[in-house]
Amino acid sequence: MSTGPQDSKGQGKAPLVAEYVLGLLDSAEHLRVEKLIADSPALQRERDFWSARFAALDSEFEEVAPPAHSWTGIEARLFPAPVPQSWWDSLALWRGITAGALAIAVAAVGFSLVQPAPNSAALTTQLVAALRAEGSDVQFVALYDGTGEVRLTALSGSEVPDRDYELWAIQGGGAPVSMGIVPVNARSTVELSPAIQAGWGEGSVLAITLEPKGGAPDGIASGPIVAQGAVTRI
């Protein structure tokens, strides 16, 4: 999506400008895009367009103080408790989404809008999920626009020595299906397998677990859930 003709410096940069306005870029990339915008009237128009569009979200959410349990989460990260082995038995855990996660998802919708839909039918396939879990600092936003791929943006979290983060799809009453290892503090794209696509849609659940290096043994989740969320239609 673009607000008007782009000059040579602005061509193809609309998604970056949207991410710049949302604050999803790291400091180095933010500074680089800021310089690009300063040198390009077309990108300045894109920046103003997205700033105005996202400004409407400000009135929907009130500032809140950090919850009292934040320190508990920090302690849990520094001094982790033994890994529970039965969390996959809790379907309610997979389905839970907090108000804070929804706020993240709403902000992420703006990024998905920079991808032009070929027709109105394609718009009905756009889905978003905000992935987080109580006591965990790992947060992801997942976007799907009907292309057969899920685009992941890691908003926070840290690498863990000798461990990997693994993405899972849970649909209906079926067993979790691995979607592969995903990086933290980075963007990635995960292709939906035919098995996942068959049941994919609003209400599907994405979960990220902390697994041994290389992924869960035998394709069966063994680590704790560090982020999870239900897929919602945009």
Structural domains of the chain, count: 2
Q: Do both 36 and 130 map to the same domain?
A: no
Block residue for tokens 């035919």: 194
Q: Do both 100 and 161 map to the same domain?
A: yes
Q: Judge whether 191 lies within some domain.
A: yes
Q: Do both 127 and 223 map to the same domain?
A: yes
The total of other beta-carbon atoms located within 10 Å of residue 201's CB is 12
Q: Do both 222 and 141 map to the same domain?
A: yes
The answer to whether 210 and 224 are in contact (CB under 8 A) is: yes
Q: Do both 117 and 208 map to the same domain?
A: yes
Of 112, 97, 11, nearest in space to 54 by CA: 112
Distance CA 52, CA 221 (A): 43
Whole-structure pTM over 0.85, yes or no? no
**What pLDDT is stored for residue 147 in this prediction?**
83
Q: Judge whether 4 lies within some domain.
A: no
Check residue 23 and give left, alpha or beta (phi > 0: left; psi -120 to 50: alpha). left
Q: Do both 107 and 39 map to the same domain?
A: no
- The whole domain housing 50 covers 14-58
User: Could you give the count of Cα atoms lying within 13 Å of 79 in the half-sphere of its Cβ?
Assistant: 3
The answer to whether 18 and 111 are in contact (CB under 8 A) is: yes
- Would you give per-residue pLDDT tens digits along the chain (234 residues)? 334 334 444 456 777 888 888 888 888 888 999 999 999 999 999 898 888 877 766 665 566 666 666 666 666 666 666 555 444 444 444 344 444 455 555 555 444 444 444 444 444 468 888 899 888 999 998 888 888 899 998 888 889 999 999 999 988 778 899 999 999 878 899 999 998 888 888 889 999 999 999 999 888 888 899 999 998 886
Query: Tokens for 28?
Result: 């180095």
Block residue for tokens 């529970």: 84
**Beta-carbon contacts of residue 96 (< 8 Å; ≥ 6 apart):** 228
